[in-house]
Structure 1
Amino acid sequence: MNKLSREARAQILGMMVEGMALRAIARMTGASKNTIAKLLADAGEAFSDYQDRTMRGLTCKRVQVDEIWSFVYAKQKNVAGAKAAPEGAGDIWTWTAIDADTKLIPSWYVGARDGAAAQHFIGDLALRLANRVQLTSDGHKPYLEAVEQSFGADIDYAMLVKIYGEPSGATGRYSPGECVGAEQRRVEGRPDPKHVSTSFVERSNLSMRMGMRRFTRLTNAFSKKAENHSHALAIYFMHYNFVRIHQTLRCTPAMAAGVSAKLWELADMVVVLEEWEKSQGQKSN
């Protein structure tokens, strides 16, 4: 396996977060696809570990949560008839939380869209917060038990339940229902009605779908393995939180949240990867 320089690894990671496919990266950089796939896996593990350790004691005030759909190898309805479908094939959901003020994404979870996934996701989020927060979710019912189990009464929680009508204009398989209204439902505590919103997390999910080819609909760019899907998300969130300057904040979310005191570059991400490799007793690929 070829050994990549720090500059080459930074370049490849930059291409990954810009949504390029592994084969396209191989063609443009000259690195082998296996080397790039190994970098994807190692970087995903390293960045997931780093963010897990640093996203602690956060002083968020308003948090929004949501889920975004994708699939691995084949859509759920086609898994039974798929040839050599790997474990984890089918629909896969990414649960994300965002701080409405700093735009930091402190927690995410990749898995199903059921009660167990909701409890894992909300439980992880609760462990990262240092104070009482106002939380807003959509009307997905598993949130109710998950929030109760993880926060109890120590939260100001509301659901924003959207009301959909029939699709307007042209109709078809992918025509969504028209949102004709939204209902605020207080669940726990005293949430401020002015801040009961899921706009920021929904916009963040849109950026994910537009920025990562694995989330693009009606293409063959979907993830072929659940592990690689998770690794790609860890790399994306690392870049989003620490490297990418938010246009409104004029700094990175990690800087705005006090998680980082400096503006990172792609080379800093490689340093984190190298330190993780040393801790694992690995050699740089």
Structure 2
Amino acid sequence: MNKLSSADRARVLHLLCEGMSIRAVVRTTDISKNTIAKLLVDAGKACAAYHDEHVRGVQAKRVQVDEIWAFTHCKQKNVATAKASPDDAGDVWTWTAIDADTKLVLAYLVGGRDAEYANAFMLDVADRLKGRVQLTSDGHKPYLEAVEGAFGADIDFAVLQKTYGTAPEAKQGRYSPPICTGAIKRQIEGQPDPEHVSTSYVERQNLTMRMHMRRFTRLTNAFSKKVENHAYAVALHFMYYNFVRVHAKLRVSPAMAAGITDRLWEISDIVALVEARDAGPAKRGSYKKSVRHPV
């Protein structure tokens, strides 16, 4: 790992962020799988720490939240018969909150889909926002108590409850998704604007995640074997999405649109975070080269 140059690290991380699997990166770069996996872990830790510290005080007006499914080690139905499956094998959900105007992903959480995770997620979302916002969620019931616990009455909260039906027989297949037959808007707290009760942006972000993280691709063997590595890949993705990737409509990164940074990051800036974390604090009386801060 220490033998990789900064340029090689940047190349590997860029390939991972653009949707390549670890084995594909191995074939492309001729760098060992273990080295790439360790770099992913180190980058995920550095990105999670940076996001936690700097994505705060966001002045958003409209926020949308959702959860996206994946699995680690094996699917939930196979956990009981899987060989040497870890305790956290099976379904894993990624909770996300996005600012509908700047497209910034405010918060994310990897774990279960129960009330405990809903409460932790919404408390984190509330802690990163500044001022009153309008919040829209889907019909997942744990949101109701979690939003109340995190925001109290200081929020305009609505639920978009979608209804689904089966596809016509002629269009049915083994993996045919259900057909959305309608949506009901429900006011829960405050005075949410009905025109902005929507989950379209956060659902589009779900597609971005599946396109940019190989571990989320359906019907493949590219799933994560450990939930920790899954979470680190998510942290790297959102750092890349928020700070490096130019949003096609905004023409800037979401972090720039939200005022968190005044310039467009490069992959080398993420590498700088990793190297700064690896270096650690300097010993008293020792000399150390300064690392360029990304912001």
Q: TM-score range by the shorter chain?
A: over 0.9
Query: Partner of 1:192 in structure 2?
Result: 193
Query: Is it true that 1:142 corresponds to 2:153 in the alignment?
Result: no
Query: Partner of 1:104 in structure 2?
Result: 104
Q: CA deviation at 1:199?
A: 0.2
**Separation (CA, whole Å) in 2 of partners of 1:87 and 1:8:** 35
Q: CA deviation at 1:180?
A: 1.1
Q: CA deviation at 1:29?
A: 1.3
Alignment of 1:68-147 (within 5 A): 68-147=68-147
CA RMSD of aligned residues (A): 1.2
**Unmatched 5+ stretches in structure 2:** 283-295
**Structure-2 change in CA distance of 1:184 and 1:280 (3 Å):** farther
Query: Partner of 2:208 in structure 1?
Result: 207
Query: Partner of 1:250 in structure 2?
Result: 251
Query: Partner of 2:262 in structure 1?
Result: 261
Classify the secondary structure of the residue corresponding to 1:106: strand
TM-score scaled by length of structure 2? 0.93
Paired residues, what number?
A: 281
Amino acid aligned to 2:207:
L
**Separation (CA, whole Å) in 2 of partners of 1:227 and 1:190:** 39
CA contact (8 A) 1:58 1:128 kept: yes
Classify the secondary structure of the residue corresponding to 2:105: coil
**Separation (CA, whole Å) in 2 of partners of 1:4 and 1:29:** 11
**Separation (CA, whole Å) in 2 of partners of 1:159 and 1:17:** 32
CA contact (8 A) 1:72 1:226 kept: yes
Q: CA deviation at 1:280?
A: 7.0
**Separation (CA, whole Å) in 1 of partners of 2:187 and 2:5:** 53
1:124-148 Cα deviation digits (max 9, x unpaired): 0000001110000000000000000
Deviant stretches of 4+, over 3 Å:
none
**Separation (CA, whole Å) in 2 of partners of 1:55 and 1:124:** 11
TM-score scaled by length of structure 1? 0.96
CA contact (8 A) 1:2 1:31 kept: no
Amino acid aligned to 1:61:
K
Q: CA deviation at 1:176?
A: 2.1
Query: Partner of 1:219 in structure 2?
Result: 220
Query: Partner of 2:165 in structure 1?
Result: 165
**Separation (CA, whole Å) in 2 of partners of 1:222 and 1:190:** 41
1:177-197 Cα deviation digits (max 9, x unpaired): 211110000000000001000
Q: Percent identity?
A: 62
**Separation (CA, whole Å) in 2 of partners of 1:277 and 1:42:** 8
Query: Partner of 1:8 in structure 2?
Result: 8
CA contact (8 A) 1:63 1:134 kept: yes
**Structure-2 change in CA distance of 1:14 and 1:123 (3 Å):** same
Q: CA deviation at 1:19?
A: 1.3
Query: Is it true that 1:240 corresponds to 2:273 in the alignment?
Result: no
Amino acid aligned to 1:99:
D
Query: Partner of 1:32 in structure 2?
Result: 32
**Separation (CA, whole Å) in 2 of partners of 1:236 and 1:12:** 13
**Separation (CA, whole Å) in 2 of partners of 1:106 and 1:77:** 32
**Separation (CA, whole Å) in 1 of partners of 2:179 and 2:22:** 37
**Separation (CA, whole Å) in 2 of partners of 1:63 and 1:175:** 30
Amino acid aligned to 2:209:
M
**Separation (CA, whole Å) in 2 of partners of 1:63 and 1:203:** 14
Query: Partner of 1:44 in structure 2?
Result: 44
